[in-house]
Structure 1
């Protein structure tokens, strides 16, 4: 029988919006000395002459900042599950320098994993689809549009988003504690909890994964293992998987559960909104948080258009989720 958490989850990851607005210690502003150290590490990596994806932690030396990055890793793993870093001088750097700086910092948190069927380890979040709607086209991805994104997780332990340029208007980042959503469901709709642990089909949405060899994978929304709770929530992936022959049909209770998760994710009680500034990096633990984005209006000029860089990282050590979810949310028995 699947093990289930049947009492409220406690700990720093079960936060609410008012708590985070009252205590903004989740914003970490880099000091001038730390920025200087990152600049020196970028220069060292450039001098080594390696391709970006071959640059290791050893190629990006951070004698002082390494300790703070270890603290960040601990905060993501056992704390609130997210943090915003502020102050990278992205406007002073070339594309290569920005990429190396971001990649090098990520090397202190985990190993980069591919983000799509093209095998990209380093992603870019920009509107490139001229208004395509992912809700009506199952193979369109939200990060290539200007549309508001539904609350979701990404396919790795950690997702990092670094802001290079902001939109003309909109594009706020929304973050919510998935453990707090679980607690709200347990409080208000305890009959729904067992449904969170039942297997569902998730659509790869045109990016068929070599791990499964199929256009979908099977896992549950929640896992409870090693005393830790994890949530894998991708409503549009769950719903679009219904297009495949043999997919177990979503029942009325399933659809009610999805509506309730979205309701709590969007609620003033839980939903935290944050604006990106150029040089910000948002780090999120995908097992403990859901994230989203509001719709945005972009600039007409290409050189001003909204641009985020993205990393997906898996922790190097055997982490607390290994027995629940593997890469891209695939349960171990589905590998």
Structure 2
């Protein structure tokens, strides 16, 4: 077992106070950059292609392309997240909003399927009213409840805010490498459990290779240079429902509680407000994210709405390299 036994160093191991003192993680798009996006949207829509067939070549950018490449370096080698601000989503149609976001993402990475329906472009809205505590297959992004700290199934997750809630819904981000360092400092005896295989629930979906409703991997992976953490506590706990699942030990329960405690701590947890036109970019290997619960407006056309992309790095897939194949089986018409 390849395990990191010393504190992880580097810019991804940040604390809340450091980020509050250095707001360079907020990037304000310039007027020229917004104009580049506008022109690229027009060019992409003029191709007549469906959104999911649009490539970076169909979405031509000027200097903003180079800024996105710097973003890619920041996500992989730097702090692991960035918040972009300034897209005029209120001025655009639904199709234009989606095209703008998709096109920017195509300059950053390759889209990844988000669920068994084959969706490459997701929406985070309260649409079901399902209580995740009573339905093991439900997903928090379809409710208004507070979400647990977690990662998503790709190298990068992007969330673009179209509309905010009436109250609540703050985005929470924490450095998972800093959580690792806190565990090393306070509960070092738990570290080996991070590298042991666990069952993760697919929550009603299937693994594309094995056909199983769960996949098996570890919470942490250490390459000798980079540390990755894949944390989905509710997926780990609900996988216990499957026959043959190795039972979680008292040590596992202590570990999961400790990760949550550090993630929620005032030392590490960074809260950021979402405004319409904001895009939050996160590296799933070195950050965990969550959100507070929220109260929606009663009018359907005012309800909280985020657009979501899952992206893998170009020409390689660090997620699969680290954790093994995590693909979701896509249901196709017979």
Distance, in Å, in 2 between the alignment partners of 1:329 and 1:193 is: 27
Q: Paired residue for 2:150, among 149, 152, 155? A: 152
Distance, in Å, in 2 between the alignment partners of 1:211 and 1:278 is: 39
8 A contact 2:207–2:327 mirrored in 1: no
Tell me which residue corresponds to 1:203.
201
Distance, in Å, in 2 between the alignment partners of 1:322 and 1:96 is: 32
Distance, in Å, in 2 between the alignment partners of 1:236 and 1:204 is: 11
8 A contact 1:225–1:323 mirrored in 2: no
* Residue 329 (structure 1) shift: 8.2
Distance, in Å, in 2 between the alignment partners of 1:16 and 1:10 is: 12
Distance, in Å, in 1 between the alignment partners of 2:57 and 2:65 is: 11
Tell me which residue corresponds to 1:76.
75
Distance, in Å, in 1 between the alignment partners of 2:307 and 2:250 is: 38
* Residue 206 (structure 1) shift: 0.5
Distance, in Å, in 2 between the alignment partners of 1:321 and 1:55 is: 24
8 A contact 1:147–1:295 mirrored in 2: yes
Tell me which residue corresponds to 1:222.
220
Distance, in Å, in 1 between the alignment partners of 2:80 and 2:134 is: 32
Distance, in Å, in 2 between the alignment partners of 1:325 and 1:220 is: 7
Runs (5+) with no aligned partner, structure 1:
331-335
Tell me which residue corresponds to 1:9.
8
Determine helix, strand or coil for the equivalent of 2:24: coil
Tell me which residue corresponds to 1:333.
none
Distance, in Å, in 2 between the alignment partners of 1:187 and 1:76 is: 26
Q: Per the alignment, do residues 238 and 216 of structure 1 end up closer, same or farther by CA in structure 2, a change over 3 Å counting?
A: same
Q: Per the alignment, do residues 327 and 76 of structure 1 end up closer, same or farther by CA in structure 2, a change over 3 Å counting?
A: farther
8 A contact 2:4–2:224 mirrored in 1: no
After TM superposition, which residue ranges in structure 1, 4 or more long, deviate above 6 angstroms?
Answer: none
* Residue 319 (structure 1) shift: 5.5
Determine helix, strand or coil for the equivalent of 1:210: coil
8 A contact 1:176–1:265 mirrored in 2: yes
1:284 corresponds to 2:253: no
Deviations 1:108-138 (A, max 9, x none): 11110110111100000000112x2112211
8 A contact 1:232–1:329 mirrored in 2: no
8 A contact 2:209–2:327 mirrored in 1: no
Tell me which residue corresponds to 1:176.
174
Q: Paired residue for 2:300, among 299, 302, 317? A: 302
Tell me which residue corresponds to 1:167.
165
Runs (5+) with no aligned partner, structure 2:
329-334
TM-score, scaled to structure 2: 0.96
